[in-house]
Amino acid sequence: LSAIAHTESDFRADAVSKRGAMGLMQIMPHIGEHFGLTAEDLAIPQNNVRAAAALLNEIGAMMRLPRHLSFEESMSLILASYNGGLGHVSDARRLARAYGADMNSWSDVSHYLSLKSNPEYYENEVVSYGKFTGSRQTIAYVRNVMRRYRRYCSIAEPLQSETLVSEFCCPIHDVQNLL
């Protein structure tokens, strides 16, 4: 969650994007409403982070990723959905499967996500959400968040025996546990 907050807002609780995303985790107001939060509620950092954690958990559940999938693969797919939209990532996963690639591999899915700006791909019968022009930004977002996550864990690793840091630097399969 810290890696996401760093990437989304540079830890600025008062950040507001051009599109209206708010707070540390850059939650859109309609997403806040989905979780029973007003725009005023989203301005409170604890609510903003809780909404992001709930959203990540919901995205993971909706994606129905296999349990055997590595943390890196599952979190990369979830982060791509958090940033670029679950519909576009689901389209890319279906395209990967249709073209014989691995729909649970971030490398394969990111490839098909980038092809969703091409009519040959976004007009394919397995695509439900149409053209996607934000793939570069989404792919960079996943790369940056995962890089920061690994860096934070490497810094915290020496402290694991002395603190509860290990609970936050091990693969998190259920973000809901952080609420």
Active site residues: 8
Alpha helix stretches (DSSP H) within the chain: 2-9, 29-34, 39-42, 45-63, 71-84, 86-98, 106-115, 119-122, 135-156, 165-169
Classify residue 78 as left (phi > 0), alpha (psi -120 to 50) or beta. Answer: alpha
Q: How many residues does the chain have?
A: 179
Find tokens 């939209």 and name the residue.
Answer: 85
The radius of gyration of the chain's CA atoms, rounded to the nearest angstrom, is 17
Break the chain down into helix, strand, coil percent, rounded to 5. 65, 0, 35
